[in-house]
């Protein structure tokens, strides 16, 4: 769409040179980490205060101009692509830590704060924020997508770790939901409604997060397996045994090969589990020993563990680099990323099925997984300029998702719906639940200006 002249004039008066219609700026905000082609907004605004956000959104609502919130641009499902044009609301300059309350184990931040920043600020107080999606995403974006990551098996997702929000509604009102109390029975749980809403119900501008004591002892370990299936069976046994692992990640042999080349490492190129244990020094040792014993029952070998911080950092940096390492497997490639999550008892079945389908395709692929909570990703390598690659990747994705739904799982465990998972929403939730979601959207955003075209399938004609 073309912006009304009145909107341009008012935004220029409000923001000065923090309002931009320059092509380079718009192009930068028209892409994310998804395989979708670039789609630039009509203008970008760089806001710095809550009041500016409210003014921008109110003005856009009055003129029916779409608004898409933008944090770090690290989303994988096309969340921030402005498919109807309009204004890209860049929150990256709202990056202050507003309050640290160590006695309450809470920290309040602005939406543009990046994931690693709070931990840098609070580590000297013996605290940390555990949600770790891998990339250094913005906290606001992590709330909007209900992110989780490698620590979710022990500490939960953003849903469990946000206690309060400040949100700007589509009408430009600023509301506060939730409280600093550890629990509440007062009214509808609007906090959880906004978590995972992907910018379609309101613009999250401040977040109060739970903090946790830094564990006295931390150790990391790796173990290799003869097959992905054996590794998954070991994880299921470890969970059922009740070992309180903090992280357990599956990386298949293809991804290990890519990591070795990307990071110049020499890991054995076999399916590998990456573990982390938190607790007292003796407790951590006991967890590691019990885990090693269980892994050996499933032909796990080469179990190595270390409490050395440098070793842990090297290990988890390798895991976090897996996505980018796989991108380097093919020149000019993009990745179509599946994100299913299933009951832990069905995990081995779904991964085996996915492996069989992927092995029969001409496309390169790898499997990674936060397998401790039943979440895994198939990283399907495509040439974005080859229609047959895109078609084949979408076919594989659809089959993998349908397997997950058939066993009571979900099409997205942590990346969110965005544009890419809309096609599965009706099948996962049913027509009546989708109509309920549409009704909620209509109440919060009657003019449909907030990230339109995302999350929900279009209503039938």
**Tokens linked to 136:** 């250094």
Q: Give the span between the Cα atoms of 285 and 289, in whole angstroms.
A: 6
What's the CA angle centered on 272, arms 271 and 275, to 5 degrees?
160
| 3-class secondary structure per residue, 177-242 | EECCCCCCCCCCCHHHHHCCCCCCCCEEEEEEEECEECCCEEEEEEEECCCHHHHHHHHHHHHHHC
Q: What letters, b where the CB count within 10 A reaches 16 and e where it falls short, cover 99-136? A: ebeeeeebbbbbbbbbbebbbebbeeeebbbbbbbbbe
Specify the DSSP class assigned to residue 17.
Answer: G
Domains of the chain in sequence order:
5-90 (3.30.43.10), 97-213 (3.30.465.10), 219-406 (3.40.462.10)
Q: What is the C-alpha separation between 373 and 270, in angstroms, rounded?
A: 22
Positive or negative, the Cα torsion across 141, 144, 145, 150? positive
Say how many residues make up the chain.
461
pLDDT the model gives residue 222: 93
From CA 17, how far away is CA 61, in angstroms rounded? 22
Tell me the C-alpha to C-alpha distance, in Å, between residue 333 and each of 30, 134, 214, 382, 445.
18, 20, 39, 6, 37
**What pLDDT is recorded for position 461?**
67
Here the tokens at position 262 are: 């990307």
Question: What is the distance between the alpha carbons of residues 107 and 240, in angstroms, rounded to a whole number?
Answer: 33
Report the SS3 class of residue 273. strand
φ, ψ of residue 435 in degrees (nearest 5): -65, -35
> In this predicted structure, what is the pLDDT of residue 308?
84
Alpha helices in 92-156 (DSSP H): 116-122, 139-145, 152-155
The reported pLDDT for the residue numbered 17 is 96
* Measured distance CA(199)–CA(144) in Å, rounded: 6
Q: Which residues contact 366 (CB under 8 A, 6 or more apart)?
A: 251, 252, 254, 255, 258, 322, 326, 378, 379
- Encode the chain (461 residues) as per-residue pLDDT tens digits: 789 999 999 999 999 999 999 999 999 999 998 888 899 999 999 999 999 999 999 999 999 999 999 999 999 999 999 999 999 999 999 999 999 999 999 999 999 999 999 999 998 999 999 999 988 999 999 999 999 988 999 999 999 999 999 999 999 999 999 999 989 999 999 999 999 999 999 999 999 999 999 999 999 999 999 999 999 999 999 999 999 999 999 999 999 999 999 988 888 999 999 999 999 999 999 999 999 999 999 999 999 888 888 888 888 888 888 988 999 999 989 999 999 999 999 999 999 999 999 999 999 999 998 999 999 999 999 999 999 999 999 999 999 999 999 999 999 999 999 999 999 999 999 999 999 999 999 999 999 999 999 999 988 76
State how far the alpha carbon of 454 is from the alpha carbons of 13, 292, 425, in Å. 30, 44, 11
Q: From residue 128, give the alpha-carbon distance in Å to each of 8, 217, 285, 444.
A: 42, 14, 22, 34
Q: Is residue 175 within a helix (H) or strand (E), and if so which, with residue range?
A: strand 174-178
Nearest partner of 85 among 151, 1, 194, 28, judged by Cα: 1
Radius of gyration of the chain (CA): 22
């Amino acid at each position: 769409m073309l912006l009304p002249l009145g909107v341009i004039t008012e935004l220029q008066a409000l923001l000065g040179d923090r309002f931009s219609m320059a092509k380079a700026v718009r192009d930068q905000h028209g892409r994310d980490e998804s395989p979708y082609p670039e789609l630039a907004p009509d203008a970008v605004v760089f806001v710095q205060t809550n009041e500016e956000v409210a003014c921008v959104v109110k003005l856009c609502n009055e003129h029916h101009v779409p608004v898409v919130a933008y944090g770090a641009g690290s989303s994988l499902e096309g969340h921030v692509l402005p498919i109807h044009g309009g204004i890209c609301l860049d929150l990256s300059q709202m990056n202050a830590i507003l309050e640290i309350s160590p006695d309450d184990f809470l920290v309040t931040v602005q939406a543009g704060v990046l994931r690693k920043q709070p931990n840098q600020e609070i580590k000297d107080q013996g605290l940390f924020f555990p949600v770790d999606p891998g990339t250094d995403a913005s906290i606001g974006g992590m709330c909007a997508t209900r992110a989780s990551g490698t620590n979710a098996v022990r500490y939960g997702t953003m849903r469990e770790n946000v206690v309060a929000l400040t949100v700007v509604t589509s009408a430009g009102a600023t509301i506060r939901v939730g409280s600093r109390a550890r629990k509440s029975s007062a009214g509808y749980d609007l906090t959880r409604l906004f978590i995972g809403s992907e910018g379609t119900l309101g613009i999250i501008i401040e977040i109060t997060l739970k903090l946790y004591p830094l564990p006295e002892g931390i150790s990391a370990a790796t173990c290799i397996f003869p097959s992905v299936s054996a590794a998954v069976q070991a994880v299921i046994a470890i969970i059922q045994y009740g070992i309180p692992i903090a992280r357990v990640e599956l990386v298949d042999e293809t991804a290990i090969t890519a990591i070795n080349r990307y990071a110049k490492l020499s890991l054995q190129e076999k399916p590998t589990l990456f573990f982390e244990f938190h607790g007292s020094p003796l407790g951590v040792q006991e967890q590691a020993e019990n885990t090693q014993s269980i892994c050996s029952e499933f032909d796990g070998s080469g179990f190595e563990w270390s409490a050395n911080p440098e070793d842990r950092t090297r290990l988890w940096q390798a895991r976090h680099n897996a996505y980018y390492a796989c991108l380097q497997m093919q020149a000019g490639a993009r990745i179509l990323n599946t994100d299913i999550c299933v009951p832990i008892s069905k995990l081995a079945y779904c991964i085996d099925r996915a492996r069989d389908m992927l092995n029969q395709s001409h496309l390169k692929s790898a499997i990674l997984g936060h397998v401790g909570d039943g979440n895994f990703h198939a990283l399907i390598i495509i040439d974005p300029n080859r229609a047959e690659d895109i078609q084949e990747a979408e076919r594989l994705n659809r089959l993998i998702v349908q397997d997950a739904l058939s066993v009571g799982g979900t099409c997205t465990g942590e990346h969110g719906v965005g544009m890419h998972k809309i096609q599965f929403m009706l099948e996962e939730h049913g027509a009546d639940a989708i109509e309920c979601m549409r009704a909620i959207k209509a109440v919060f955003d009657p003019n449909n200006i907030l990230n339109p075209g995302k999350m929900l399938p279009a209503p039938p004609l």
